[in-house]
Amino acid sequence: MVYATIRQVNLANNLGVLGFIGGCMNAGKTSEIDTVLDRANELQLGFLPFSYEGDTRGNTKKLVAGRKDRNIEIPCKSYHEDNPEEIYRHIDEADERLRKDGRYAHVLVFDEAQLPDYKKFIPILQKLREYNGKSRLPIAVGLDRDFRGRMYEISRFLEGEQGTVVVKIEGFCKAHASEKGPNKSCGALATRTQRVISRGGLEVPEFPFVIGGDKTIYGCVPAPHWDETRQVEGANEATYYVPVCSHHHRVPGKDLVREIYDFFNNNRCNGGVPLQKIRDEFNREDNLDSILKWLTLEGGLEIREGKLRPREVTVHPVDGYLIAQSPDEIMRDEPETIYTPNQ
């Protein structure tokens, strides 16, 4: 793994290399894409940006590169890990368009790379390094950690992968620092993304956040540990993301989830723990239903025959790395293995 800045990356000569630009929310990843575009232009390399199909923010369909004396808008092609053919088609079309200049789609940028299922998306990126007889540089751009501070699988994989050039972007913490007086944000190096939820007037004075420079959101609470990971800003009006330092990062409920996990591990026999036993133990917890749902959706557990059980850990058939669910399970819809309150 190589930590670098984009300026140090040799965009022109990169056989077998992948790029990953990772960092917390609002830390300047877009301006880094800007730099990639600049460099590609200087080197006369074809540049093709992609935005994720499931991204509902609506402002990512165009990449606006406005630097110095020019202002270029480049429309992004949409991509989805379930439809690699479409990605290849966009590249073929770009190759065709660029051929008259003696160029081809060389630098391929994929925004919001934490959103696709990495098990499907990484093989696509790997294939694109040499596609249609041409050496290309696929660059994944996205959050490196989720709102809990856990590394996304794609960044865990790419940062551990030989031949990946990793560029880390860090912004500045936007949490209010009360010790600095009102309306002063902390300003320390932001390495985490804080997810906050608006609670309609419920005042939480220790958690006012500055959003986007001057807009302050009061009455927000930090999202609990069992909130679903994949949630795009703007998809839900009451959800905001703020870059914060590790000192101001809050994920309430982590200890409770840990406690339930520990109880589960200490009481496992014949592979599982009866759901009723967990309910009896934790019936005082208002959020037990939400936690059980999260544990079975994202926490590596499942419910079978009335018992909470660990999901099978298997090896990915193509890439050989460990995954928490078997490929069969991923392909199959298994709503019965996910906790619903009437169980």
| Cβ 176 to Zn ion shortest distance, Å | 9
Binding residue for Zn ion (CB under 5 A) from 27, 87, 186, 303? 186
User: Measured from the CB atom, is 158 or 190 closer to Zn ion?
Assistant: 190
The reply on whether position 168 binds Zn ion by CB under 5 A is no
Q: Tell the residue number behind the tokens 């790395």, with chain if given.
A: 321
User: Measured from the CB atom, is 148 or 248 closer to Zn ion?
Assistant: 248
According to DSSP, residue 223 is labeled P
User: How many residues line the site for Zn ion (CB under 5 A)?
Assistant: 6
In the beta sheet, which residues pair with residue 139? 19, 109
User: Measured from the CB atom, is 211 or 330 closer to Zn ion?
Assistant: 211
Query: What's the rounded Cα separation, in Å, for the pair 251 and 227?
Result: 10
Binding residue for Zn ion (CB under 5 A) from 125, 154, 169, 173? 173
Query: What's the rounded Cα separation, in Å, for the pair 62 and 50?
Result: 9
Site for Zn ion in 287-316 (CB under 5 A): none
User: Measured from the CB atom, is 188 or 232 closer to Zn ion?
Assistant: 188
For residue 123, the one-letter residue type is P
Alpha helices in the chain (DSSP H): 29-42, 84-98, 118-128, 153-159, 254-266, 275-282, 288-297, 327-331
Q: Tell the residue number behind the tokens 């051929």, with chain if given.
A: 99
| Cβ 193 to Zn ion shortest distance, Å | 13
For residue 43, give every residue at least 6 positions away whose Cβ sits within 8 Å of its Cβ, in sequence order, or none.
11, 12
Look at residues 192, 25, 44, 35 and name the one whose alpha carbon lies nearest to residue 109: 35
Helix, strand or coil, per DSSP, at residue 160: coil
The reply on whether position 248 binds Zn ion by CB under 5 A is yes
Which segment (137-145, 183-191, 232-240, 257-265) binds Zn ion by CB under 5 A?
Answer: 183-191
Tokens read off for 44: 């006369």
User: Measured from the CB atom, is 189 or 330 closer to Zn ion?
Assistant: 189
| Cβ 180 to Zn ion shortest distance, Å | 10
User: Measured from the CB atom, is 62 or 180 closer to Zn ion?
Assistant: 180
The reply on whether position 4 binds Zn ion by CB under 5 A is no
For residue 214, give every residue at least 6 positions away whose Cβ sits within 8 Å of its Cβ, in sequence order, or none.
none
| Cβ 148 to Zn ion shortest distance, Å | 17
* 2-3 and 164-169 strand pairing: parallel
In the beta sheet, which residues pair with residue 195? 241
Binding residue for Zn ion (CB under 5 A) from 151, 188, 297, 324? 188
| Cβ 212 to Zn ion shortest distance, Å | 17
User: Measured from the CB atom, is 17 or 210 closer to Zn ion?
Assistant: 210
The reply on whether position 245 binds Zn ion by CB under 5 A is yes
The reply on whether position 27 binds Zn ion by CB under 5 A is no
Which segment (72-80, 173-181, 270-278, 316-324) binds Zn ion by CB under 5 A?
Answer: 173-181
What b/e readout covers 17-31, taking b as 16+ CB neighbours within 10 angstroms? bbbbbbbbbbbbbbe
| Cβ 172 to Zn ion shortest distance, Å | 8
Helix, strand or coil, per DSSP, at residue 55: coil
| Cβ 197 to Zn ion shortest distance, Å | 19
| Cβ 31 to Zn ion shortest distance, Å | 21
Interface with Zn ion by CB under 5 A: which residues?
173, 175, 186, 188, 245, 248
